[in-house]
Amino acid sequence: MKNLNKLFTNDNIEFLSKFKFQFMQMPIGIIVTDKYYDILEFNTKAEIIFGFKKEEIIGINFFDLIFPKYNKSFLQEYYEKLIDANDISVCTNENITKKGEPIVCEWYDTIVKNEDGSFNGVLSMIIDITEKIHNKNEIKKLKEELESGTYKRTIELQMANKELESFSYSVSHDLKVPLRAIGGFSEILLNKYSSKLDQNGYKLIKDIYNNCQKMDNFINGILSLSKMSRKELDKIKLNLNPIVKTVINDLKNEIFSSEYSDYFNKLNLILYDLPVAKGDPVLIQQVFQNLLSNAIKFSRHKKVPMIEIGFLTKFNATIYFVKDNGIGFDMKYSNKLFGIFQRLHSSKDYEGNGIGLAIVHNIICKHQGNVWVESNPGEGTTFFFTLP
């Protein structure tokens, strides 16, 4: 099977025909192209989003129809990076409908490979967020207009925040429902009908299933970040030592059930007696959870991994730190580290959704503190933060 079109039109395998019906009726746009970016599949939701009928767009190069504003070489460069990354790419694009109307869409792209690992095409999932972007802009405009009038400003900001919360829920729901459907059908195919698939067909379905799991992790990370952003601070006097020990015990239980179950047996853990701080206990525990998880992830291949949790005093300020002797990174990329979906290492080698450090940054800034990092390739990484 050289493409998904062949896979889904195999009349000899009844369940694949049934799966194609579900594929075509998914409440999310799905486009499949070959390695030349000619369209192979264009489901019903994609027809609704872009205004083209499937029969008039199959075989057409989708750059020419859906991306006329963009330079073709720019798009080819984007897909070359996607091929090299071998991962899901999440982006927002301005697109054009058949009637020439501009729309804004979220694109979730992943490549499809041949058995030999060569590039064979692209699977794209598309959500039209034009109306949501409009609503979001309206909310932003509303916030700006509420700068005067204390009582009115308070009431209307509360309404705007509820709208943003509803917006976050809507986006997550719109993504999770079709994602669960795609992942569920893929899992059924893998578990019940794998013997009826040839090797390439099985690999394609497995790729779809695995990428659904990755996308689900992305969505959960976005929701966690959104939840942290909306949470009201409950600042109290904190004894950080039991908080850190709770996080370490939780991570031990998690690690013992993984392939790195011997990590804590060889770990050199240095834990200083940390001074009292003031902050939200739930959020500060999340900071240590994310920083220690990060330290474990990037030091786990060391013969003797080392993690140091301590503090130093400078300019009358207490600076907390989490240090590891892991793989480190080049500091010229440090500006990317706390951004959402920003990764400095391949997801193939190190799992994660690129959101953990963004959450750390969000929490520390919410406490009106500072967070920064020092690192060298092969020499480990140290994260610092302050809590005023």
Instruction: Please identify, among 180, 204, 230, the residue that sits at the C-terminal boundary of a domain.
Output: 230
**pLDDT computed for residue 270 by the predictor:** 92
* SS3 call for 9: coil
pTM: 0.49
DSSP code for 70:
S
**Which domain, by its residues, includes 29?**
4-230
The predicted structure's pLDDT at residue 275: 94
Indicate whether 268 and 197 sit together in one domain: no
Contact 292, 385 (CB under 8 A): no
Locate 306 and state its tokens.
Answer: 């080392």
The helix/strand/coil state of 330 is coil
111 lies in the same domain as 48 = yes
386 contacts 369 by C-beta, under 8 angstroms: yes
* Cα–Cα dist 203/225, whole Å: 33
The DSSP output letter for 315 is T
- pLDDT at site 319: 94
206, 169: one domain = yes
Domain end among 188, 214, 230: 230
Are residues 217 and 243 both part of a single domain? no
Say whether both 226 and 241 belong to one domain.
no
Same domain, 214 and 269: no
Rounded Cα distance between 101 and 96, Å, is: 6
Give the DSSP H/E element, type plus range, for residue 34: strand 29-34
Q: How many domains does the chain have?
A: 2
Same domain, 250 and 195: no
Residue 369 near residue 361, CB atoms below 8 Å: no
**Is residue 172 within 8 Å of 220, Cβ to Cβ?**
no
Q: Angle of helix 199-230 relative to helix 356-366, nearest 10 degrees?
A: 0
Task: Count Cβ atoms within 10 A of the Cβ of residue 16 and give its class: 0-12 exposed, 13-18 middle, 19 or more buried.
Answer: buried
Q: What is the CATH number of the domain that holds 55?
A: 3.30.450.20
Answer yes or no: do 19 and 133 share one domain: yes
Q: Tell me: do 211 and 243 sit in the same domain.
A: no
Question: How far is Cα 300 from Cα 322, in angstroms, rounded to an integer?
Answer: 15
* Residues 47 and 171 grouped into a single domain: yes
CATH number at residue 321: 3.30.565.10
Cβ-count burial 92-103 (b if 16+ within 10 Å, e if not): ebebbbeeeeeb
Residue 109 CA to residue 126 CA, distance in Å, equals 9
Q: Does residue 273 share a domain with residue 204?
A: no
Going residue by residue through the chain (388 aa), what tens digit of pLDDT does each one get? 334 444 333 333 343 345 566 677 788 888 888 888 888 888 899 999 999 998 888 888 877 766 666 666 666 777 777 777 766 788 888 888 888 888 888 888 888 777 777 788 888 889 898 888 777 777 677 666 655 555 555 665 566 566 656 656 665 666 667 777 788 888 888 888 888 878 888 888 888 887 777 677 667 666 666 666 666 777 889 999 999 999 998 888 877 666 667 788 888 999 999 999 999 888 899 899 999 988 988 888 888 999 999 999 987 889 999 999 988 888 887 777 776 545 555 455 455 556 778 888 888 988 889 999 998 888 899 999 999 7
Looking at the structure, tell me whether residues 113 and 10 fall in a common domain. yes
